[in-house]
Amino acid sequence: MLERIMIAGFGGQGVLFTGQLLAYAGMLEGKHVCWVPSYGAEMRGGTANCVVTVADEEICSPLAEEPGSLLIFNLPSLLKFAPRLKPGGILLLNSSLVKSEIKRSDVRVYPVPANQLAEKIKSAQLANLVMLGTYLKISGLITLDSVNKALEKILPAHRRHLLSYNRKALESGMAIVGG
Amino acid sequence: MLERIMIAGFGGQGVLFTGQLLAYAGMLEGKHVCWVPSYGAEMRGGTANCVVTVADEEICSPLAEEPGSLLIFNLPSLLKFAPRLKPGGILLLNSSLVKSEIKRSDVRVYPVPANQLAEKIKSAQLANLVMLGTYLKISGLITLDSVNKALEKILPAHRRHLLSYNRKALESGMAIVGG
Amino acid sequence: MAKPATIEIDRERCKGCELCGAFCPKKIIRPAPDTNSFGYHPAELFDPARCTGCGICALVCPDTAIVVRKEEAA
Amino acid sequence: MAKPATIEIDRERCKGCELCGAFCPKKIIRPAPDTNSFGYHPAELFDPARCTGCGICALVCPDTAIVVRKEEAA
Amino acid sequence: MKNGKILLKGNEALGEAAVLAGCRCFFGYPITPQTELLEYLARRLPEVDGVFLQAESEIAAINMVYGAAGAGARVMTSSSGPGISLKQEGISFLAAAGLPCVIVNVMRCGPGLGGIRPSQADYFQATRGGGHGDYRLPVLAPASVQEMADLTVRAFALADQYRTPVMILADGLLGQMMEPVELPAGPAADPPPRPWATTGCRGRQKNVINTMHLYPEELEAVNRQLQEKFQTIAREEARAEKYLTGDAEILVVAFGIVARIAKEAVNKARAAGIKAGLFRPVTLWPFPARALASAAAKARAVLTVEMNAGQMVEDVRLTLDGSRQVHFYGRAGGMIPAGQEILEEIRRIGGMQRGRCARPA
Amino acid sequence: MKNGKILLKGNEALGEAAVLAGCRCFFGYPITPQTELLEYLARRLPEVDGVFLQAESEIAAINMVYGAAGAGARVMTSSSGPGISLKQEGISFLAAAGLPCVIVNVMRCGPGLGGIRPSQADYFQATRGGGHGDYRLPVLAPASVQEMADLTVRAFALADQYRTPVMILADGLLGQMMEPVELPAGPAADPPPRPWATTGCRGRQKNVINTMHLYPEELEAVNRQLQEKFQTIAREEARAEKYLTGDAEILVVAFGIVARIAKEAVNKARAAGIKAGLFRPVTLWPFPARALASAAAKARAVLTVEMNAGQMVEDVRLTLDGSRQVHFYGRAGGMIPAGQEILEEIRRIGGMQRGRCARPA
Amino acid sequence: MAAALARPEALAPEPMHYCPGCGHGLIHRLTAEVIDELWIREKTIGVASVGCSVFAYQYFNLDMQQAAHGRAPAVATGIKRVLPDRVVFTYQGDGDLASIGLAEIVHAAARGEKITVIFVNNANYGMTGGQMAPTTLPGQKTTSSPGGRDVKQAGHPLRIVEMLATLDGPAYLARVSVHNPAQIFKTKKAIRKAFETQISGLGFALVEVLSPCPTNWGLKPVEALRWLENNMVPYYPLGEYRSIAPGAAELNETKRRTGRTERG
Amino acid sequence: MAAALARPEALAPEPMHYCPGCGHGLIHRLTAEVIDELWIREKTIGVASVGCSVFAYQYFNLDMQQAAHGRAPAVATGIKRVLPDRVVFTYQGDGDLASIGLAEIVHAAARGEKITVIFVNNANYGMTGGQMAPTTLPGQKTTSSPGGRDVKQAGHPLRIVEMLATLDGPAYLARVSVHNPAQIFKTKKAIRKAFETQISGLGFALVEVLSPCPTNWGLKPVEALRWLENNMVPYYPLGEYRSIAPGAAELNETKRRTGRTERG
Ligand SMILES: Cc1ncc(C[n+]2csc(CCOP(=O)(O)OP(=O)(O)O)c2C)c(N)n1
Ligand SMILES: Cc1ncc(C[n+]2csc(CCOP(=O)(O)OP(=O)(O)O)c2C)c(N)n1
Ligand code: SF4
Ligand code: SF4
Ligand code: SF4
Ligand code: SF4
Ligand code: SF4
Ligand code: SF4
Ligand SMILES: [Mg+2]
Ligand SMILES: [Mg+2]
């Protein structure tokens, strides 16, 4: 098993943190993991993305020429990365923010009204965790339990009091997946 | 014909100038010439030397591993360079300043009381030209005429008024050579 | 002689810094509820009638997102 | 109580700068007529009797070529 | 995977490993993409009573390293591209004086201000001496966050053993990415005795840290000693990783992060029936020439892949000395060679006739 | 010898040639053994209404060169060893921006402060880019005072033609020695039009001198253009001198002043019945590889002689690619290889069996 | 209705990449307005430095050079010596000018180099993510002084204008701020004087502008201006530190040079 | 008779290479005397710079480092940070300190780095043969200002002590001269204070010593001192520019540190 997930949106939407959380949870499960942030051309206030690789075997390339999953938080990212998604791959869309039609028919598209769900819990700031929750459920890559453990480890001290909201957001994301 | 002359003494004794004069005169005679000053380890107030090469053919190496002639103005230079003189070479010694015995018997040694002669003309400052005069006469390498022409060209403006003394010094150096 | 004046805010240039609103003497600028395509809530003039065209909002705008329009003096 | 004093000049260290002579209050130092092995005319004390041991010559000597010798106070 | 691993950025892993290796002294200046290293040590070193100082420039930093190393400290500095260029005079001084220290270059793209994405275009500068005069310094090229840590410990050990500056040549990708790391135990926190250090001459002759030798005989002797040291290092310290080289007909040579992408390409090539293998120099200087020669024993052709216009390929050519075709594939400007591109190169070369070999013009 | 010659120091000849080549702008900082060049231009440039400015440092000087070259001037700077190391960031910027200028390195001994006597140990730095990123610059190596002048004129022409910094790599001996020089006429005093220069945008679009490209696709394209330029230069501009190479069995390769000493050794070897020849690269980059390969056609062995620990010898090996034995003889620290020593090496190699060939470890 | 306070011609129309509320955008515009008002756009060459404002080469609609970190004054010197009748300015951050580029700015000032320097002091290294600068206030937290600047370890902040005021070279030195509309007006006036000083041949001119970096200060833009006023202004007193008034000859020169209009 | 005024132990016995009448030899000796008198020779590390005094590493009989041109303050910073209880000083020329090394000295001073700087101002670059330095006087002829320093082209000389006095970091700043015996005494006193400032933990200390370079000035040694007095002293006023008196705590500290005697 080797899965490459790309998470992309505006700076400030928590895409880098979401990726770190996923990678950390993978590590806790004893998997090989790797997290690569975008850096470079992106300007302040611009877009941000990261690639997480989770695998049973050694990870060679840390990059994702053809990611297997996409978690998309804004329109520019959708336009830029959707064409690179592997055929048969998973495309999660924060449908609260991205309204566009998806042209590809060879991928599995899941719109998630993440902002709405997040606002119900506490604030739109939690949309990233809603998305992650949905992704966990769909992909079955990592258990919620591992992600919850990872959250405890990497949440910075000054956001520790938000832990329960974070958990609720993850669960709410999982809950929307049928079955 | 290719002749390498090394001129060595204390800084301030005019050894670099003497070499330049000789090189310039050689150039005026249409010869190939090259002048290489010592620089490097020598400290301020220390020793100075230069190598002049005068040749009919192209000059390859500008250095003198085995100089054919030596013009020596102080004791340290004598000790340092005399062993490197080519067998059969010319060793001119300012005998006003260097009293040492010469151990080599395979070279032609010419003691020149250059300071005394120079002081007779004007001052000890002219000792270098006395030595050069003697060398011109002994070696026959360059004519006095060429050296006089060279003097006019390279004497700095503020020493131009000393031209006649310079000429006298050269002549006085030549005069001491028998014949 | 009161001159009709207003401001134009370039929503796509605006970064929602809220400096214009903070310094507007009439306090008639606020962030729009929706976002522009960079994810910012751009400034909006919510009470144009009170605008004096003083230009302070444009003066303080770091992104030259505001143009003040005034009727020329005769 | 006048103390017998004198100076010693290290001829080989001396560079003949003549500063000692210039600042000696008694003007009893001058360049020697002959040279040391570096070609300098070293300083020489030509009237040792007048030396007070004030040490100014040693103070100003850039090359620490002068040592002042005094009889110790009891 | 074992327990005890933590998830760290390459820059952070390097910083923590330095502390574990007994480094208590860092002088640096911010520059992307190495800044996290500086920031990490700004927090971390005071916790262990170490010295952290943000210098006014890269030049000041490298000269502070000179002073601190000369005073006996285990000391490190780091920078990238333009900042490393500014350190070249200082590096030449450190090498000349034989002062142990570690210099990190988290490479970004050049030339000039260039860009801040990953690159490997400072290979020549690192291995041939970007500074003046004859000197070399060991250059270690990590390929994972784990190696960012491990090779840092190694770098301090080499620096001490040979009294030499050591360079870690990473790149922006390695610096920014996170992987699980098992932190090294590191050698004893105390560096070995440094009787030559300038610490005050109580009870001994004075010590001098100096690189000037105006007498040519003396300076030649100093240079000869340096060259002997470099030869010892060249003989003893070359390191490389070999992957499927035993029967490889096409040998890919790559270092750092590129080697990992190349490994993926080699795997795919093998899956497609092409006998490909990978040779990864871990030390760039000394270049692991003997190991490469043996890895290339069965190879029909060699493909060097780099994030530059062709630099390490010179060492590959020097090593193989005309005995093998040596091909080059490179990307520049922050573009990273994709596994697919490398695979296609392997395919292309695999299908090539012996004669059609690219040589330097 | 013809009339019209004057006796000049190498440094002065270089300075005067620069003025004749239309250079009206110099920024420098004193350092032995290049200082006479700076001092010459301090006197000379004001006479022709040129700009002479002693900068506060080598770094300031190279960046003034950047500004002046970007503003359209023919401009030069010079230094030696440590000062050239300090200029490396600036040189990388100049190469990246494609700004024509001439940089003189009158080499002294390193590493570190080293000594002020002649050396050739900055060959790697000059030819491999001591600065960061992928760039090259033409490097011209004079061997006489006459060439100090001639190659200076050539350097300005190359700089203009290719929009590139050009380096003149001399040494302390060449800088200090005097020989008769026939001063070159030089090209027209006005440099060719520079429509790209920043001179104020009256009547045109704005011009920008810039080396930053944050988008990797863009920066890769810039790098590709640079590489194409370097390839053109490599193809067109390599120059060398051959001496008795037609039938040479032992080929001596040397550059700069060392080549002249080697010539004397070759003459003596010929006198002793050894078929020796001399190959002297005049351009160090581009290295005259094709010419060397043909000069070595008949050679049994090649002997590279340098005033360093072995740097150009890498280019010789890369060129001959295992086809010839390549030997090296070097002196360091300001010691100059004597003709006699070179002769002995030639003799030794001449008597050698084919198999006993020294290869890099 | 006619557009008042529109974008100056010397400012390129494209949007800038600066963070919301960043002072750079504003200071760019003020500089561009002055250039327009003096009608010197077509004879001006700007030098961008390395910092968040590195893209100044893109944003100013006139000939620009991009200099290595800290070396803009040397680059500007090179340009001005070659083209003495052009107007040359640098735009530099506090890391660029006061840290790595200190020797270059002091020597350019000491030489009385006839250039104009716009020096943007935001008390940190913005571009690289908010490290300590020589201008960071005592106790101020940055990513490289996480416990707050400890003057015992990191020393005291540099007051550049005061330091340059000890030199004979500079003709105009001022410190201004952009924390409110009145100060913004003063800033523009100072920038104008700094250009006029050059144009009239008087010598070196530098304007230090205290400027907010909301992102790295961790403050909203409006709060950032308040922090600036309450913390930076007391430490860095505003005002003119050197102002050699142009004589009649210089005024004529200014007229002659700016009068050669480009638009009119 | 006993030798008075003999060579201090901190000065190596070998002869120095300086020209006749050069100030370096004298300033070396004064520094060495102070080191002896404070009994700190065995705990002092000196940093030699690049200039005629490069050989200071040889002439001082104590641990020495030789720094790259201009970087002695950075090297000293590295040493002092690692060995805070040692005494660290630099010995720098005016080219070294005021030209290429300007950023390093200003930042060391601003940081209040606890080092002592002996700054020898001889108004030119001695070692390389007498080029213009930032401290060369207006009109002064040098090999790189053959027509005399033209302040319009080359700018005005830097007054380093005055410039550093605008910083908060330095604890002791003085300018002295060696043109006569009385001034030589004052010089020694200032050097002593500069070391005491460091030892008592007060901070950065710098003494600028006006010093003759007879060779490059083209004057006999005695004339050179006269030229210095008549030309340099008026331009570079002598005196203490900063002197933070040690409090009781610092005095105790000084005693404790120097009291740990080495000879006695
Ligand atoms: C030689 C060199 N060193 C370091 C850097 C990295 N760097 C880029 S911008 C910057 C600091 C910029 O700070 P400042 O000048 O204050 O500008 P700001 O971003 O705050 O406006 C640094 C250190 C570089 N590009 N080049
Ligand atoms: C990087 C570098 N640049 C230049 C030099 C050459 N250099 C040696 S000493 C010196 C100037 C010394 O002048 P100063 O500091 O005033 O000392 P002085 O000799 O006058 O005492 C210079 C420029 C060098 N060694 N290194
Ligand atoms: S012009 Fe004046 S009143 Fe109108 S919105 Fe702007 S600041 Fe307010
Ligand atoms: S000041 Fe400008 S950028 Fe800021 S909110 Fe107002 S219009 Fe938008
Ligand atoms: S000790 Fe005094 S009196 Fe005696 S020689 Fe020296 S200066 Fe003159
Ligand atoms: S001061 Fe010293 S060096 Fe000078 S002449 Fe007197 S003894 Fe000699
Ligand atoms: S980081 Fe600071 S200085 Fe840079 S653009 Fe953002 S607010 Fe402006
Ligand atoms: S050149 Fe000047 S500073 Fe150097 S040793 Fe001679 S007199 Fe002293
Ligand atoms: Mg800043
Ligand atoms: Mg000096």
Residues H215-238 have pLDDT tens digits of 999 999 999 999 999 999 999 999
Residues C39-59 have pLDDT tens digits of 899 999 999 999 999 999 999
Q: How sure is the predictor about H262, in pLDDT bands with cuts at 50, 70 and 90?
A: very low
With a Cβ cut-off of 6 Å, ligand 7 is lined by A 44; G 18-19, 22, 24, 52, 122, 126-127, 213-216
Are the Cβ atoms of H74 and E64 closer than 8 angstroms?
yes
Q: What is the mean pLDDT of each run of 10 residues along chain A (179 residues)?
A: 95 92 97 92 69 97 95 93 96 92 91 95 94 97 97 89 94 89
Residue F326, class by beta-carbon neighbours within 10 Å (0-12 exposed, 13-18 middle, 19+ buried)? Answer: buried
Chains F and H touch (3+ CB pairs under 8 A): yes
Task: Decide if pLDDT at H4 tops 70.
Answer: no
Residue C37's pLDDT is 83
Is the separation of the CB atoms in F266 and F276 below 8 Å? yes
For ligand 2, atom 20, which residue shows the shortest CA distance? H126
**Contact residues for E273 (Cβ-Cβ < 8 A; gap 6+):** none
Average pLDDT over residues G219-239: 98
Helices G72-82 and G102-110, packing angle to 10 deg: 30
The separation between CA F152 and the C-alpha centre of its own chain, rounded to angstroms, equals 10
Residues E252-307 have pLDDT tens digits of 999 999 999 999 999 999 999 999 999 999 999 999 999 999 999 999 999 999 99
Residue F184's pLDDT is 81
The separation between CA F192 and the C-alpha centre of its own chain, rounded to angstroms, equals 23
Whole-angstrom distance, CA of residue H123 vs CA of residue H146: 15
Residues H14-27 have pLDDT tens digits of 999 999 999 999 99
Whole-angstrom distance, CA of residue E184 vs CA of residue E167: 19
For residue H146, the CA-to-ligand 6 centroid distance in Å is 31
A46 CB within 8 Å of a chain G CB: yes
Residues G101-131 have pLDDT tens digits of 999 999 999 999 999 999 999 999 999 999 9
Q: How sure is the predictor about C32, in pLDDT bands with cuts at 50, 70 and 90?
A: very high
Around Cβ F348, how many Cβ atoms within 10 Å? 12
Residues G75-88 have pLDDT tens digits of 999 999 999 999 99
Around Cβ C41, how many Cβ atoms within 10 Å? 17
Is the separation of the CB atoms in A48 and A11 below 8 Å? yes
Supply the pTM of this predicted model: 0.96
For ligand 8, atom 8, which residue shows the shortest CA distance? H22
Whole-angstrom distance, CA of residue E61 vs CA of residue A171: 50
Task: Decide if pLDDT at C1 tops 60.
Answer: no
F131: helix, strand or coil: coil
For ligand 3, atom 3, which residue shows the shortest CA distance? C51
Per-residue HEC secondary structure of G49-98 comes to: CCCHHHHHHHHECCEEEECCCCCHHHHHHHHHHHCCCCEEEEEEEHHHHH
B45: left (phi over 0), alpha (psi -120 to 50) or beta: left
Residues F91-106 have pLDDT tens digits of 999 999 999 999 999 9
Chain B contact set for F115 (CB, 8 A): 40-41
- β-strand H116-121 against H87-93: which pairing, if any? parallel
Q: Range with the lowest mean pLDDT among B45-59, B108-122, E244-258, F334-348?
A: B45-59
For residue H104, the CA-to-ligand 9 centroid distance in Å is 20
Whole-angstrom distance, CA of residue E138 vs CA of residue A55: 34
Residue G67's pLDDT is 98
Residue H263's pLDDT is 36
Interface of H with E (CB under 8 A): 41-45, 47-48, 54, 57-58, 61-68, 71, 74-83, 86, 103-104, 107, 262
Q: How sure is the predictor about F356, in pLDDT bands with cuts at 50, 70 and 90?
A: very low
Is the separation of the CB atoms in F252 and F265 below 8 Å? yes
Chains B and E touch (3+ CB pairs under 8 A): yes
A44 CB within 8 Å of a chain F CB: no
Whole-angstrom distance, CA of residue G26 vs CA of residue H124: 45
Whole-angstrom distance, CA of residue F30 vs CA of residue H216: 15
Whole-angstrom distance, CA of residue F39 vs CA of residue G76: 24
Task: Decide if pLDDT at F258 tops 70.
Answer: yes
Whole-angstrom distance, CA of residue C18 vs CA of residue F90: 41
* Most F CBs within 10 Å, among G71, G90, G262, to test the F interface: G71
Residue H171's pLDDT is 97
**Contact residues for H14 (Cβ-Cβ < 8 A; gap 6+):** H58, H59
Is the separation of the CB atoms in E28 and E77 below 8 Å? yes
| Ligand 6 binding pocket includes D63 (Cβ within 6 Å) | yes
Q: Cis omega (within 30 of 0) on the bond before F33?
A: yes
H221 CB within 8 Å of a chain B CB: no
Are the Cβ atoms of F39 and H143 closer than 8 angstroms?
yes
Whole-angstrom distance, CA of residue F317 vs CA of residue F294: 14
Residue H253's pLDDT is 66
Are the Cβ atoms of D59 and H5 closer than 8 angstroms?
yes
Is the separation of the CB atoms in A172 and A133 below 8 Å? yes
Backbone angles phi, psi at E340, to 5 degrees: -60, -40
Element (H, E) at F344: helix F339-350
Is the separation of the CB atoms in E154 and E185 below 8 Å? no
Whole-angstrom distance, CA of residue A134 vs CA of residue B7: 91
A80 CB within 8 Å of a chain C CB: no
